Structure 1
Amino acid sequence: MAMESNVLTGAGVEENQDFSEYVANLQLHMTLQARNLVPPLKQTLADSRQQLLHQTQAHFEKLASRQGF
Structure 2
Amino acid sequence: MDTIKNAANYVAESVQGAGATASKEANKNVAKDSNASLSTRAQAAGDAIGDKVDEQTHNRKADVHKEASKH
What's the TM-score, normalizing by structure 1? 0.47
Structure having the higher Rg: 1
Higher relative contact order (CA 8 A, sep 6+): 2
Could you tell me the TM-score, scaled by structure 2's length?
0.46
